[in-house]
Structure 1
Amino acid sequence: MSHPATPALAGLSPAPPDNALALLARGVDRGLGAIVETAAAALVLAEIVVLFAGVVARYVFHQPLVWSDELASLMFLWLSMLGAVVALRRGEHMRMTAFINNVRPGLRVALEAFALAASLAFLLMVLGPAYEYAEEEAFITTPAMELSNAWRAAALPVGMGLMAVVALLRLLTQTSWQKALAAVAMVAGLVLLFWLCQPLFKSLGKFNLVIFFVLVVAGTVFAGVPIAFSFALATFGYLALTTRTPLVVMVGRLDEGMSHLIMLAVPMFIFLGSLIEMTGMAKAMIQFLASLLGRVRGGLSYVLIGAMYLVSGISGSKVADMAAIAPVLFPEMKKRGAKEGDLVALLSATGAQTETIPPSIVLITIGSVTGISIAALFTGGMLPAVVLGAALCCVVWWRYRKEDLSGVERFSGKQIGRLLVIALPALALPFVIRAAVVEGIATATEVSTIGVVYSVVVGLFIYRCFDWRRLKPMLVETASLSGAIMLIVGCATGMAWGLTQSGFSSDLAKAMTTIPGGSWGFLAISIVCFIVLGSVLEGIPAIVLFGPLLFPIAKEVGVHEVHYAMVVIFAMGIGLFAPPFGVGYYGACAISKVNPNEGIRPIGGYMLALFIGLLFVAAIPWISTGFL
């Protein structure tokens, strides 16, 4: 899933220019940032080359590269960790800011400093176990390349160490040293207090689950600590203070969560989303759709719904989807009298509607953590999105049924045909991707590289639109967003393992199987829970944390796994894009450059339509499973 990240340091005031320590820290930060960003960008490019070379060698020359997956896996962990460093430096780790954005400026600065200090505390505490884990991995040798696994595992202590340095530098450069020191002292005091309470925790039994996985997580999340670090702090504290589990085990679970090769599709599709915007492919598709529906009342709103459906199927990144469409459609829609609030409301609603369209990052994540076939999820996700899209179209029809079209240009059949010819190479991309998977040319991970190469060729030789200067920034942005996502996946995997070891998962299974109404009652509770989780945790952390616990229960009560996946994804999407808590809504506002207050009123009708569509999908399993 690809979700809008909330800046982690938006509220901090820069240090005074005459602060020598801050000036030194800024210089170190710039130098370190340039080195890490260049390395992360190079790793993204190297992954594309290695994966595409594997496809060509296997399918064209019938000589598989036996080492390609090993090398890709080794680079992927380094990419994830260095990307997490870039994300921390740029303030792009996912977090909840609903509370801190509404407090007085002085308190907001203090909370921002606290969030950085809390992240720094975890990084310093986990650095020793991470180094120990890398040492233990040195005894394992990879089968194809015969390299020590320490070359891969070393990414963990190196990445943690670099993030600790970055967090410290941000503290020094984003606020005064007095406030930074106060935040560090407060966090150190809390760590000491928890350590002193260790004998008490050991006597509380399962009540510790409430203390660490509810109170600590909720407290840190609402204080603005990035979600990944909130999960990590709670898990680290629970294991260190209430169990005898070696902390190196937590690092192992974090590694496990970040090492699924299928998750390598995340950075590949994020980069592909940026490419289709840069090469003009998205613009060509939208112009063709606009020519078809321009004379229909509310026509461009239908184009927005259809364009998000098409582009989501290509990029898999909501940020890329909205950024590709809004600048192309919104100016023309405003000329026709559409209000800014309605535009951003519909953009947010389509973001939730298209969460199941392959190659959705959320679908890939579900397949990775639950073992469900990615191909089945891709097949099952198409029709449910059509149902929710139809629900949105009903609202558009009602709102624009009296629109004045007297000043709207009418396209001739010849003009529409010309735009169709121009758009054909772009419209073909989803079919190229799908054909590559169905024909067995590439895996779900490798197919993204086919899309990347296709987009580069189309951009260079057909649309003649390829800005080489934007290539490195796009690669860095890909690494940053991927690092933020993968760190959440890793930390949530560790947290889910801790919950499983505590017996929580078995208790949850017993409770969920006794819900009145059987499978229907289970679906109803799941919808409510995931709407709430989607607004607080966003999609990917919620799925990684609760997917391994709830999907086996769904199967036990008779709910098909693919059907259940579609229901919970849409529920999370509604929570993610519904104000006032849904961070996706604010991401749409930022991309559209619209005040969030403008869209609060018109989004209500769209969210109601999405909820009704969700109920249809939940009530009729065939919509999700009919084509499996």
Structure 2
Amino acid sequence: MQSEISEFGKADSAADQESRPVHPGTRLFQAVDTGLARLTEAAAALLVLAEVLLLGTSTAARYLFARPFAWSDELASMLFLWLAMLGAVIALRRGEHMRLTAFVRGMRPEHRAWLDALALMLVSALLLALVMPSFEHYEERAVGLTPVLQIGEGWRSGAMLVGAVLMLFTAVDTLIRHATWTQIGLALVGVAAAFGALLWLAPVFEDLGNLSLLVFFLLFVVVSMATGMPIAFAFLIGTVSYIAFATTIPLSIVPSRMEEGMSHLILLAVPLFVLLGALMEISGLAQGMIAFLVSLIGHLRGGLQYVLLGAMYLVSGISGAKAADMAAVAPALFPEMRKRGNHDGDLTSLLSASAVMSETIPPSIVLITVGSVTGVSIAALFTGGLMPAFVGMLALCVVVWWQSRSEDLSSARRFTWGEKGRLLLIALPGLGLPVLIRTAVVEGVATATEVSTIGVLYSVLVGVLVYRRFDWRRIYPILIDTASLSGAILLVVGAATAMAWALTQSGFSQQLVALMALVPGGQVGFLLVSALAFIVLGSVLEGVPAIVLFGPLLFPIARQMGVNEVHYAMIAVFAMGFGLFTPPFGVGFYLACAIGRVSPDVAIKRAWPHLAALLVALILIVLIPWISIGFL
């Protein structure tokens, strides 16, 4: 999920604009950065294609011909790290990294411009501080050889160094382009003063012990996020500052931990499912499913609301971005729903709530992340995620029934059985895709990573041969968009992995275990407190960074308490989704308002019935483990 993006170039007021002649050196720097940006986009697009071809052929070789490629996983992991870092560079240039905007959303543009400049200066300083540690990490790894391909490990670790350098170029260029010289100068002075203060206080931080964690991982991270800085860089600010000023650990450990966190092959499913979601849209699969559902129940009271819920249940989780899921469904249904007298606030609230309901539906990117960082079986998570989402959908259906009792059906169209049959035939390829994906994973045909390539091939073939509406001109932009969104997600994973390692080394995890063990109420009390904690985390951090940061800490406690890991995962994911789409802090709620073109002030007044229904569903998921594990 991407949060609201801060556009630095639009933040300056007339009073802040300065007539600044472009220095020849600045012009050259910007030209070099633009050239690097184009090269980066082309390389990232090729890497996405390479991963699809590599995993697709590897799956076919293993399953169809019983001749697996011994080197495929190693090469895919190496290319994946490069894809993640280049994607992070593209996301930084585009302003597509996940960020918290609750504190800066209402600020005046001229005031926000100063915060934007400070945030970019902090990002630039952070990346500059990571360049040399990344080079040291590269040198350490370059002497070793990969186990299968027997090539230098530097080919893998070089991605961290190249990514840090390119992001530094991008951050500096963005700062020069969109901030005034006064803003740049004052931001530089502020960052230099903060560095000097930290250097002077370093002996004090070492003496404080774990109390210094409050400074680095609470104060620094929260303040950084409050400025609108991307979440990944806010995590790294806290981690790098803690290691540099409160420990004697070399900073090269940061790129090392980030590489480890971003190299899990299971996370390769992130870009591939993002690509699959985009291909579903241009091939017509999603539209076919929606049209069929409308023909079935669209003429009933609340019929289109039920269609919206059903469509989100079917297509959600595949794209990797809730924005894409909602954008695929809402425009097709909202105009007719408004004709029937539905309130704009109710429609937007339902759209937002449907995104919460569908958080656990496979192949959810958050579920894949849970499996990656906690070791829980991906197949078990995919199986266990269907029923919690169904419970959430039933709870929302009750609200829809109540709100649509007096709906005007005068404009509702009734479809004939012949038309329904024709639309069913059109929708069958789309309806079959989720079944194909789940069956391939459960039956062992392909892993959760490999199955996405089957979906990609399926979507292309259906779009070309069945619907005949596949627009090849959109492929290159889609590949770049895939790399950008994936880089934004995976940089958070890497940053949160480094942060979690630092917290573990400090002994914080043991203290957290001891604290959670004191929660009254035994297992049920622990689960209720966990649900509340994940709601808060979801509203602040969003699903992926929250689960990467706290999953390795809380899941072992759940095991000690005797809680089934799949059950705990469903509670965590559903609760984080609830927080993400709950006003006033949940960014997802404002994203739903933007897609529905409804003012948040209008929607927020109508959101509470849907949120109450989802809260009831969450409590049921907490108290009834069978909902999560009954079909395992």
TM-score w.r.t. the length of structure 2 is 0.97
Q: Which residue of 2 aligns with 1:433?
A: 437
Instruction: Flag the 1:143–1:19 CA change in 2: closer, same or farther, 3 A.
Output: same
Deviates more, 1:182-191 or 1:548-557: 182-191
1:516-595 to structure 2, matched below 5 A, reads 516-595=520-599
Which of 450, 454, 479 is matched with 1:450 structurally?
454
What does residue 333 of structure 2 align with?
Answer: 329
SS at match of 2:77: helix
Find the partner of 1:218 among 214, 217, 222.
222
Is 1:12 equivalent to 2:11 in the alignment?
A: yes
Partners of 1:33 and 1:12 lie apart in 2 by 23
- The partner residue of 1:161 within 162, 165, 189 is 165
Q: Does structure 1 residue 359 correspond to structure 2 residue 363?
A: yes
Residue in structure 1 matched with residue 312 of structure 2 by the alignment: 308
C-alpha distance after superposition, 1:163-217 (max 9, x if no partner)? 0000000001112122122212211211221111111111111110111111111
Which of 116, 141, 156 in structure 1 is aligned with 2:145?
Answer: 141
More divergent stretch after superposition (3-12 vs 425-434): 3-12
Tell me the distance in 1 between the aligned counterparts of 2:393 and 2:523. 26
Q: 2:411 aligns with which of 389, 407, 416?
A: 407
Instruction: For 1:224 and 1:374, locate their aligned partners in 2 and report how far apart those are by CA, in whole Å.
Output: 33
In the alignment, does 2:67 pair up with 1:63? yes
Query: Is the CA contact 1:265–1:444 (under 8 Å) kept in the aligned structure 2?
Result: yes
Q: What's 2:467 paired with? A: 463
From 482, 485, 489, the equivalent of 2:486 is 482
Amino acid at match of 1:257: G
Query: Which residue in 2 is equivalent to 1:270?
Result: 274
> Quick one: which of 98, 123, 130 aligns to 2:134?
130
Q: CA deviation at 1:586?
A: 1.8
Once the two structures are TM-superposed, the CA of residue 136 in structure 1 deviates from its matched residue by 0.9
Please give the residue correspondences for 1:411-426 in structure 2 after superposition, counting only pairs within 5 Å.
Answer: 411-426=415-430
Q: Give the equivalent residue in structure 2 for 1:235.
A: 239
Per-residue deviation at 1:17? 8.2
Deviations 1:386-438 (A, max 9, x none): 00010011111100011121221111111111100111111111111122112
Structure 1 CA distance, aligned partners of 2:277 and 2:188? Answer: 39
> Cα deviations across residues 488-524 of structure 1 (Å, max 9, x unaligned)?
0001001111111111100110110111101111111
Moved more, 500-509 or 522-531: 522-531
Corresponding residue for residue 617 of structure 2: 613
CA–CA distance in 2 between the matches of 1:436 and 1:502? 42
Query: Of the candidates 115, 131, 134, which is equivalent to residue 111 of structure 1?
Result: 115
Provide the C-alpha distance between the structure 2 equivalents of 1:323 and 1:264, rounded to a whole number of angstroms: 24
> Which stretch has the larger CA shift, 593-602 or 511-520?
593-602
Q: Which amino acid aligns with 2:139?
A: E
Matches for 1:482-501 after TM superposition, within 5 Å: 482-501=486-505
1:311 positional shift? 0.1
Give the conservation status (yes or no) of the 8 Å contact 1:8–1:226: no
SS of equivalent to 1:359: coil
Note the C-alpha offset of 1:235: 0.7
What's 2:383 paired with? 379
Contact map agreement 1:527 1:567 (CA 8 A) in 2: yes
Aligned to 1:261: 265
In 2, the alpha carbon distance for the partners of 1:7 and 1:23 equals 26
**Of 368, 374, 380, which residue of structure 2 is paired with 1:370?**
374
Contact 1:17 1:23 in 2 (8 A): no
CA–CA distance in structure 1, aligned partners of residues 28 and 221 of structure 2: 34
What is the one-letter code of the residue matched to 1:514?
Answer: L
Structure-2 residue corresponding to 1:152: 156
CA offset digits 1:335-379 (Å, max 9, x no partner): 323233222211111111111001111111011111111111111
Distance 1:61 1:547 in 2: 38
User: Relative to structure 1, is the Cα distance of residues 344 and 461 closer, same or farther in structure 2, using a 3 angstrom cutoff?
Assistant: same
For the 8 Å contact 2:232–2:495, the answer to whether it is kept is yes
Count of paired positions: 626
CA distance in structure 2 between the aligned counterparts of 1:241 and 1:620, rounded to whole angstroms? 47
Letter in structure 2 aligned against 1:13? D
C-alpha contact 1:282 1:426 (8 A) present in aligned 2: yes
CA separation in 2, counterparts of 1:585 and 1:525?
Answer: 23
2-structure distance, mates of 1:290, 1:189: 61
Q: Secondary structure at the match of 1:616?
A: helix
Q: Provide the residue aligned with 1:41 in structure 2.
A: 45
Mapped contact 2:388–2:570 kept (Cα < 8 A): yes
Match of 1:249 in 2: 253
Once residues 29 and 590 of structure 2 are traced to their aligned partners in structure 1, the CA distance between those partners, rounded to angstroms, is: 31
Pick which of 554-563 and 419-428 moved more: 554-563
TM-score (ref. length: structure 1): 0.97
Distance apart, 1:558 and its partner CA = 2.0
Identity %: 55
Kept after mapping to 2: 8 A contact 1:342/1:602: yes
Tell me, yes or no, if the aligned pair for 2:99 and 2:230 is still in contact at 8 Å. yes
Pair 1:196-2:204 in alignment: no
SS of the equivalent of 2:118 reads helix
Residue 513 of structure 2 corresponds to residue 514 of structure 1: no
- 1:168 is aligned with what amino acid? V
Per-residue deviation, 1:28: 4.1
AA aligned to 2:54 is: V
1:536–1:581 CA contact under 8 A, matched in 2: yes
Between the aligned partners of 2:31 and 2:304, the Cα distance in structure 1 is: 48
Q: Which segment drifts farther, 180-189 or 491-500?
A: 180-189
SS at match of 1:272: helix
**Cα distance between partner residues in 2 of 1:339 and 1:609:** 18
Q: CA deviation at 1:526?
A: 1.0
Alpha carbons 2:395, 2:614 under 8 Å: kept:
yes
Task: Give 5+ residue unaligned stretches, structure 2.
Answer: none
Q: SS state of the match for residue 124, structure 2?
A: helix
Matches of 1:465 and 1:409, distance apart in 2: 26
Map residues 267-306 of structure 1 onto 2, 5 A cutoff.
267-306=271-310
* Structure 1 unpaired stretches of 5+: none
CA distance in 2, matches of 1:414, 1:520: 52
Equivalent AA in structure 2 for residue 211 of structure 1 = V
Distance between the aligned counterparts of 2:44 and 2:589, measured in 1?
Answer: 29
Q: Is the 8 A contact 1:313 1:430 kept in 2?
A: no
How far is 1:36 from its partner? 1.1
Give how far 1:265 is off.
0.1
- Contact 1:531–1:575 (CA<8 Å) still a contact in 2? yes
Would the aligned equivalents of 2:85 and 2:163 in 1 still touch at CA under 8 Å?
yes
Alpha-carbon distance between aligned partners in 2 of 1:386 and 1:460, rounded to the nearest angstrom: 33
Taking the aligned partners of 1:449 and 1:407, their CA distance within structure 2 comes to 42
Whole-Å Cα distance in 1 between the matches of residues 424 and 576 of structure 2? Answer: 35
